[in-house]
Amino acid sequence: SPWESGDGTNAALSHTVVANFTKLVRTHNLRFGADLRVYRGFGNRFPQAVSPDLAFSNLWTKGPVDNSPAAPVGQELASMLFGIPNGSMQLAASYAIQSRYLGFYIHDDFKLTRKLTLNLGLRYEKETPLTERYDRMVGGFAENEPSPIEAQARANYARSPIPELPLDQFRVRGGLRFVNSGGLGRNQFQTESNNFLPRVGFSWEVGPKTVVRAGIGLFYDLVGVNRSEALQAGFSQSTPIQPSLDSGLTFIATNANPLPSGLLQPLGAAGGLSTNLGQGIEFYPAKRLNGYASRWSFGLQHQLGEYLLEASYVGNRGTRLAMDRSLNETPAQYLSRSPVRDQATIDYLSAQFANPLRGTNPIYGANTSRAALLRPYPQFGGISMQEPIGYSWFHSMQARVEKRFSKGYTFGLSYTLSKAMEAVSLINAVDTVPYESLGGLDRPHRIAVSGIYEFPFGKGRQFGAGMPAPLEFLAGGWQLNAVIIYQSGNALGFGNALFAGNIADIALDSSQRNADRWFNTEAGFNRVPAQQLASNYRLFPLRFGGVRGDSQHRWDLSAIKNFRIVERARAQFRAECFNALNHSIFNDPNTAPTNTAFGRITGTQAQARTFQLALKLEF
């Protein structure tokens, strides 16, 4: 569970009742039952606010002007040495959340003929909304309600409006709503009540040794305790560290005294629309839709002597996948479409004006940028919500060869050729439609080989069945196991990079690739910090299928020896070796063009060769 940290601060508890029944009626094999669950999560059970969480940014040390690009290294350290911190300190509320799950199903394996079986099933699922024992949760966002500070903010703005935003269009609307107040119920969101999951399949014996199988079904995801956080803005109160309120002319926060005005105290629901002014907020939509997957397969199995041959097509479509969407961004029409750094647009959006929010709350400074004034909700920082607008799709060819255990050995070989695509993120925060790209889990090729071999020596084996007991104890009953895996690496992306070359030149041949130069860093990437893109509408792709991280090569071996001590007792000795060839599996290379480690790999993601010995006694 995401709520269980193991340190006693967070904990999770679930209660489950499952009932399954089977009834045979002539050619029908009926199965039906129920699945009832109660999920509970407990968090922040002990106070955690003991000191501020200090961070150091390049905001106050980059130059010569305030919108200059940051250097790759050094400026954060300079902020620390100057004693200018960023960060925050949070007073975190505890929580005790709960959701319930109900599931009912009926399934029928219907034998139409001796060679044809039809599989029909239907499942119904209902998940209750998330509640908190003492109603300490956000209940949504009042996007059109005037903020308590709007009147004063508009009066301030009238003294110095910007040309792009006439006074009659300047609004300070919106704010958080809370459960069990303002006409809302106790639920953080509402859930669906029409989640029916049909499943259909068949098995057809084409010949004595050939079978065709196919099936399709729906599978819903959860949105309760297992997939949600107890959003507690207002009950958990964060106090940001603000070094300066006048754009760096003077500094009021230092390393020695990062919070000179003290901590903001949580007001809970009483804070109303003023909760977290000047800070980021997040909320769930009023009704949360369950994401679901449509899965289907069509396969052929054939027995050839001692071998089973199988080939299948397997597909999956994910629908209504939850993804974060930002609601408080500078509108897209003000962003640059230039393929190179557009300093004029950067200067235009970062230009400073008198902050109309100054005086409505101590958190606001004297000045603000044009970009901030043009946002829909200028009184807040980032505003994010989860929307079920993501989707994904997956297609694969899966082939398998298996030799059943006989003559002292078994063997299996499987190969998967696949492609995974997804649209679960926005490439620009101002977008409303998710960006389609290769999936983060896309692995085009996967090969797995496994086998077990029993040495033909000892009691019950081909050789040495009558060997003396001491020799049998040492040499008889050995078994060797092996698992070999190869898997393609993941597709890489380069962020909002400035690229002026041929994309086909980025990938390097395997003979040219090494940990110090994993791809062609000179293919056309602009690596000059002062020339990087900013305030632009990104068009550079999210991932590249031809530029991938390291593939996985792994050999795991084990030897097992069984001993019979007496009639009712036996022992088993296991010697296991993981990553037997000691093959390194590298982390992804650095893909930030301005980083000094660009194109280099600086770590591994797999353990070195590891041995494990075990002795088990059964009696």
Helices within 280-324 (DSSP H only)? none
With a cut of 50, say whether residue 616 has pLDDT above it. yes
For 15-45, what is each residue's pLDDT tens digit? Answer: 999 999 999 999 999 999 999 999 998 888 7
Q: What is the mean pLDDT of residues 443-454?
A: 95
Task: Classify each residue of 340-367 as buried b or exposed e, where b means 16 or more C-beta atoms within 10 Å of its C-beta.
Answer: ebbeebbebbbeeeebbbbebeebbbeb
Q: Which has the closest alpha carbon to 354: 165, 160, 152, 65?
A: 160
CB 529, CB 573: distance < 8 Å: no
Distance between CA atoms of 427 and 378, rounded to whole angstroms?
23
pLDDT of residue 206: 94
With a cut of 90, say whether residue 9 has pLDDT above it. no
How does residue 537 score in pLDDT terms, banded at 50, 70 and 90? very high
Q: What is the mean pLDDT of residues 191-211?
A: 95
Distance between CA atoms of 355 and 353, rounded to whole angstroms?
6
Contacts of 404 (CB under 8 A, 6+ apart): 306, 308, 410
With a cut of 60, say whether residue 395 has pLDDT above it. yes
pLDDT of residue 1: 47
pLDDT of residue 3: 52
Distance between CA atoms of 16 and 283, rounded to whole angstroms?
29
Q: What are phi and psi of 274, to 5 degrees?
A: -85, 0
For the CA atoms of 139, 140, 141, 145, the dihedral, rounded to the nearest 10 degrees, stands at: -60
81: three-class secondary structure by DSSP: helix
With a cut of 70, say whether residue 326 has pLDDT above it. yes
Distance between CA atoms of 44 and 3, rounded to whole angstroms?
10
For 113-130, what is each residue's pLDDT tens digit? Answer: 999 999 999 999 999 999
Q: Which residues pair with 214 in a beta bridge?
A: 202, 298
For 564-590, what is each residue's pLDDT tens digit? Answer: 777 788 888 999 999 999 988 999 999
How does residue 70 score in pLDDT terms, banded at 50, 70 and 90? confident
For 598-609, what is each residue's pLDDT tens digit? Answer: 999 999 988 889
For 204-254, what is each residue's pLDDT tens digit? Answer: 999 999 999 999 999 999 998 877 888 999 999 889 999 998 888 899 999
Q: Which residues pair with 119 in a beta bridge?
A: 109, 201
Q: What is the pTM of this model?
A: 0.87
pLDDT of residue 597: 94
The Cα diameter of the chain in Å comes to: 104
Q: Between these two residues, 459 and 299, which has the higher pLDDT value?
A: 299
pLDDT of residue 606: 80
Q: What is the mean pLDDT of residues 509-526?
A: 94
With a cut of 80, say whether residue 457 has pLDDT above it. no
pLDDT of residue 7: 64
161: amino acid identity, one letter: P
Say what percent of the chain tops pLDDT 70.
Answer: 98
Q: Which residues pair with 142 in a beta bridge?
A: none
The mean pLDDT of the chain is: 92
Distance between CA atoms of 124 and 193, rounded to whole angstroms?
9
pLDDT of residue 460: 67
Distance between CA atoms of 613 and 578, rounded to whole angstroms?
11
CA distances in angstroms from 220 to 165, 196, 290, 297, 434, listed in the order given = 45, 9, 6, 18, 21
pLDDT of residue 464: 67
Beta strand spans in 79-194 (E):
86-91, 95-111, 116-127, 131-132, 138-141, 176-178
Contacts of 419 (CB under 8 A, 6+ apart): 394, 395, 396, 438, 442, 444
Q: What is the mean pLDDT of residues 310-314?
A: 98
**Sign of the dihedral defined by the CA atoms of residues 592, 595, 600, 605, in that order:** negative
Gyration radius (Cα) of the chain, Å: 31
**Sign of the dihedral defined by the CA atoms of residues 157, 162, 167, 169, in that order:** negative
